[in-house]
Amino acid sequence: MDMKIDKVIPPTPGRGIVIAGPCSAETEGQVMQCAKDLAKLNQVDLFRSGIWKPRTRPGSFEGVGKEGLSWLKRVKEETGLKTTTEVANASHVYDCLKAGIDVVWLGARTTVNPFSVQEVADALNGTDIPVLIKNPINPDLGLWIGAVERIYKAGITRIGLIHRGFSYHGETIYRNVPRWQMAIEMKRRFPDLQMVVDNSHICGRRDLLAEVAQEALNLNYDGVMTEVHPRPDEAWSDAAQQITPAAFGELLDGLRLRKPTADEVEMERLTELRRQIDEIDSDLIGMLGRRMKLADKIGEFKAERNIAVLQESRWEEVLKESSKRGKVHGLSEEFMISYLRAIHQESIDHQDAIVNKVK
């Protein structure tokens, strides 16, 4: 689908987009204190706060509801900060429009449900309010793309993306693993859409926030969305990932923007390095092809002797030993496992095809 996309937030020269505020609007005093402290930084483009909070289990704090919209209205009147909050259904949209909210966003639990996205899109039809769209909880690029398309078909042209990481079942330092490549692919498909990183939801803890924010800027993201609370440890939701306005100011001061492109001299050096990478990639592809031919021979051998294609003990041994060798060469265990699984699956597919022919 051809799209003509406009900026959600006009970029400020010399810095990225900055969206900040508490995970949840808890009290009017808490919201106003946070907003006034953030306004003093003179770097915040949007004040964010959750009014309706989709929680995994009932009984958790699910937001103050539309009463909190009046607090955001006061934020705008007294600090000059523009405001944004999450919407998940038509009623939320109508209430936000009445309250003069400047930008709305779709949360990860909404993006994952096309019915909910369509309901929000129908409610937005005929308006020109900007919309930010978080990635779905699970790494499904199609759902993220579909959400963008539904909102665009409703007549909204100021659309942006929020990368908040993806669920992961296993041990990880993150609350939601970044899977940077997924977000990069969205950027490739929609180069005109601004993208900010929600480092709070990726990290789930304060000590990683600056690192993840900088990684996003290194990848040419347009800015950050961070949860900020005047008293983080007392927060009614997601306390561990929130920081004070002062700490947020320090985080911003430590971030370094990267140039989106290289100059002529720099490009010459980059071109040479990329040429070397292309040569190595060509060699790797050739080696993988030769590897698959050997896998074919193994498949023939197994087929002739009625041996099962998958040998689990052998696979475990390959994973363990190759991960060790990868570490010696500076390759992460996560990368090695992903790489080996992809190669192993291709080998299995080759052997399956051969075994099925011999039946």
- 8 Å CB contact between 227 and 242: yes
Q: Render pLDDT for 92-146 as a digit per residue (tens, 0 to 9).
A: 999 999 999 999 999 999 999 999 999 999 999 999 999 999 999 999 999 999 9
What are the residues whose beta carbons fall under 8 Å from the beta carbon of 47, sequence distance 6 or more?
A: 19, 20, 21, 35, 38, 72, 75, 76, 79, 81, 82, 83, 84
Model confidence at 358, pLDDT cuts 50, 70, 90, reads low
Residue 302 sits in the same domain as residue 335: yes
Residue 12: inside a domain, yes or no? no
Closest CA to 81 of 50, 41, 53, 52: 41
Query: What is the rounded distance in angstroms from the CA atom of residue 69 to the CA atom of residue 63?
Result: 11
What are the percentages of helix, strand and coil residues in the chain, rounded to 5? 55, 10, 35
Residue 297 sits in the same domain as residue 184: no
Residue 6: inside a domain, yes or no? no
**Which element (helix H / strand E) includes 337?**
helix 333-358
| 2-6, 27-31, 227-231, 335-339: range with lowest mean pLDDT | 335-339
Query: What is the rounded distance in angstroms from the CA atom of residue 174 to the CA atom of residue 244?
Result: 20
Residue 39 sits in the same domain as residue 171: yes
Measure the N-to-C terminal CA separation of the chain; round to a whole number of Å.
45
Residue 144: inside a domain, yes or no? yes
CATH number of the domain that 345 lies in? 1.20.59.10
**Number of domains, the chain:** 2
CATH number of the domain that 60 lies in? 3.20.20.70
Last residue of a domain, one of 210, 230, 254: 254
Query: What is the rounded distance in angstroms from the CA atom of residue 325 to the CA atom of residue 318?
Result: 10
Residue 125 sits in the same domain as residue 74: yes
**Domain ranges, residue 297:** 264-358
User: How far lies 33's CA from each of 74, 78, 261, 266, 329, in Å?
Assistant: 12, 11, 40, 46, 50
Residue 235 sits in the same domain as residue 294: no
Model confidence at 33, pLDDT cuts 50, 70, 90, reads very high
Query: What is the rounded distance in angstroms from the CA atom of residue 65 to the CA atom of residue 71?
Result: 11
% of the chain with per-residue pLDDT over 90: 71
User: How far lies 328's CA from each of 216, 292, 320, 331, in Å?
Assistant: 27, 25, 13, 7
Last residue of a domain, one of 200, 223, 254: 254
Q: Is the pLDDT of residue 265 over 90?
A: no
Residue 151 sits in the same domain as residue 298: no
Residue 249 sits in the same domain as residue 285: no
Residue 243 sits in the same domain as residue 338: no
Model confidence at 42, pLDDT cuts 50, 70, 90, reads very high
- 8 Å CB contact between 25 and 63: yes
Tell me phi and psi for residue 62, to 5 degrees.
-110, 25
Query: What is the rounded distance in angstroms from the CA atom of residue 92 to the CA atom of residue 50?
Result: 12
Closest CA to 13 of 48, 46, 47, 43: 43
| 178-192, 215-229, 306-320: range with lowest mean pLDDT | 306-320
Average per-residue pLDDT for the chain = 93
Residue 72: inside a domain, yes or no? yes
Residue 89 sits in the same domain as residue 183: yes
Q: Is the pLDDT of residue 175 over 70?
A: yes
Closest CA to 206 of 244, 253, 255: 244
- 8 Å CB contact between 34 and 21: yes
Query: What is the rounded distance in angstroms from the CA atom of residue 46 to the CA atom of residue 158?
Result: 15
The predicted pLDDT at position 221 comes to 95
Residue 269: inside a domain, yes or no? yes
Last residue of a domain, one of 219, 254, 289: 254
Total H helices, total E strands in the chain:
13, 8
Q: Which residue has the higher pLDDT, 261 or 43?
A: 43
Residue 259: inside a domain, yes or no? no
Residue 201 sits in the same domain as residue 276: no
Residue 249 sits in the same domain as residue 172: yes
Closest CA to 244 of 14, 30, 80, 15: 30
The predicted pLDDT at position 82 comes to 98
Q: Which residue has the higher pLDDT, 162 or 307?
A: 162
Q: Is the pLDDT of residue 310 over 80?
A: no
Residue 101: inside a domain, yes or no? yes
Residue 237 sits in the same domain as residue 324: no
Query: What is the rounded distance in angstroms from the CA atom of residue 259 to the CA atom of residue 263?
Result: 10
Q: Render pLDDT for 44-76 as a digit per residue (tens, 0 to 9).
A: 999 999 999 877 677 778 889 999 999 999 999
The 8-class DSSP code of residue 191 comes to T
Residue 336: inside a domain, yes or no? yes
Closest CA to 46 of 131, 136, 125: 131
Model confidence at 355, pLDDT cuts 50, 70, 90, reads confident
What are the residues whose beta carbons fall under 8 Å from the beta carbon of 288, sequence distance 6 or more?
A: 343
The predicted pLDDT at position 359 comes to 59
- 8 Å CB contact between 239 and 233: yes
Q: Is the pLDDT of residue 9 over 90?
A: yes
What are the residues whose beta carbons fall under 8 Å from the beta carbon of 188, sequence distance 6 or more?
A: none
Q: What is the residue-wise DSSP string for 124-146?
A: HTT----EEEEPPSS--HHHHHH
